[in-house]
Each structure stands twice: as C-alpha cells, then as structure tokens.
Amino acid sequence: MILNQRETTVAYRCPECGASVMSLVGIFTLTADMIRLKCPCGGSEMEIVYTRDKKVRLNVPCFLCPTPHSYLISSQMFFDQELFALPCSYSGVDICFVGRKDRVQEAMKASEEELLEMLGDTDFSELSERRHNQTGELTDPQVLDIVLYVIHDLADEGRILCSCPDGGDYEAEILDDCIHVRCKQCGDSADIPAGSLTAATDFLGCDELDLRPKD
C-alpha cells in the first residue's frame, strides 16, 4: 500500500543576502522533528514546527525587521492551499510563501520585483545593515495596525489630499515613532504619530489626510 505524501513548497527571502530560499516540505518529514530551512549564505534560517495540536508554526526571517516573525496556521492551510502569503506584521510586505511550487515561484518573482522597486537606488546590503542597526522592536503592532488601516481606508475613499490634480499615488514608510505618508508623484508628505495607542486612537477618527505643504 502506497500512502500519498502530503507536501507543499515553502519559500522566504534571506534578509542577509537577498537570495530566495525554497524547499519542499512533506507531512512525514514535518511530524518527525523541527525543520530548519537555511540559506546557503549561512545568514538566516526559517524554522517550521508541527505542534501537538496538528498546527504548523513558522518562524520567518524578515528583511525589514531585526527579529523573525512567528505565525501559527492549520495543517490543512499549510498543505492544501495552492498559494498563500505571510506578511511582515509591521510593513504588510509579504515575506513568506507557501503552496504549489510553480505558484510559489511566481510569487517570489513578483516579490523580488516589488522589493527592487521599493529599494530604488538602495543596495540590499544597505537594507540589511539598516535592519541590524534597528534597536529593539519597531512600533507596537496594534498601533501600526490602526494607523495603517486608517491610511488605506482614506486612500480607498479618495480622502488623502495632495497637490496632484487627479489624485496621487501614495506610499507609507514606517519610522521609529511615526508613519511617513508620501505621494510618489508630487512629493507631498506628512508624518502620522504612531508612538502610542492614544495617538493611533486619535487618528482613527480622522476624516481626511492632507499632505499638502502648510503655509
């Protein structure tokens, strides 16, 4: 009798060298012990653990944050989805992909293009150095979730104002104690306090966000 092996492909981007790290993971291998998916450069590894209640815990290195992110998902989701992504809890950028091999490869390629656009003229080694120089955690995830939610909501409803006559193209950068919102077209920007839950809650009632220079 031959048992069908449940397996899936897992991939992440090494925060040290920027390489794509990908591996096939099977249910029999996973139940035996913890799996460490290591980058050939030796600078990072992702841990995958099958828990006693038949869930899968992943500790994923992040190329934006100084520490890995931990996720707990069902084994059904881990093995049976064609593709799903796990985002950095601070930036929302996808840092891990799980699913069918071809779908994961496509997602990693799209992720690389997004990363290159995000880096611009910055070299990946500079991004890695900046990550190492960060002290402790960034901002409280609950605070960031509130502020980023409001920013996306305002953008979707056309309530972010800038100097562009027909609406801008907005990006958000997470800093130590604020979120810097900027229009990529006209350059107008504003800093949203994100250093405390009180500041985030105050921003929750915001009707619009004006990025235009103040006279």
Whether 91 and 21 share a structural domain: yes
Pairing of strands 160-161, 209-210: parallel
Residues 101, 117 within the same domain: yes
Judge whether 2 lies within some domain. no
* Residues 28 and 70 occupy one common structural domain: yes
- Which pLDDT band, with edges at 50, 70 and 90, does 50 fall under? confident
Does residue 110 share a domain with residue 156?
no
> How far is the CA of 160 from the CAs of 125, 165, 167, 211, in angstroms?
34, 12, 8, 7
Q: pLDDT for 171-193, tens place per residue?
A: 888 776 678 888 989 999 998 87
152 and 200 belong to one structural domain: yes
Question: Quick check: is 192 in a domain?
Answer: yes
Residue 120 lies in a domain: yes
Whether residue 162 sits in one domain with residue 104: no
What is the rounded distance in angstroms from the CA atom of residue 74 to the CA atom of residue 55?
5
Residues 29 and 124 in one domain: yes
Domain count, the chain: 2
Predicted local confidence at residue 46, as pLDDT: 92
Domain match, 156 and 191 both: yes
Residues 19 and 113 occupy one common structural domain: yes
Structural domain boundaries, residue 147: 141-210
For residues 126 and 153, membership in a common domain is answered with no
Q: Is residue 1 included in any domain, yes or no?
A: no
Asked if the model's pLDDT at residue 76 lies above 60, the reply is yes
* pLDDT higher than 60, residue 60: yes
Among 110, 133, 156, residue at a domain's last position: 133
Half-sphere exposure of 117 (CA within 13 A, CB side): 9
Q: Are residues 118 and 185 in the same domain?
A: no
pTM above 0.75? no
Structure tokens at 213: 């220079």
Residue 215 counted as domain residue: no
Could you tell me if 39 and 105 lie in one domain? Answer: yes
What integer pLDDT is reported at residue 136 of this predicted model?
A: 41
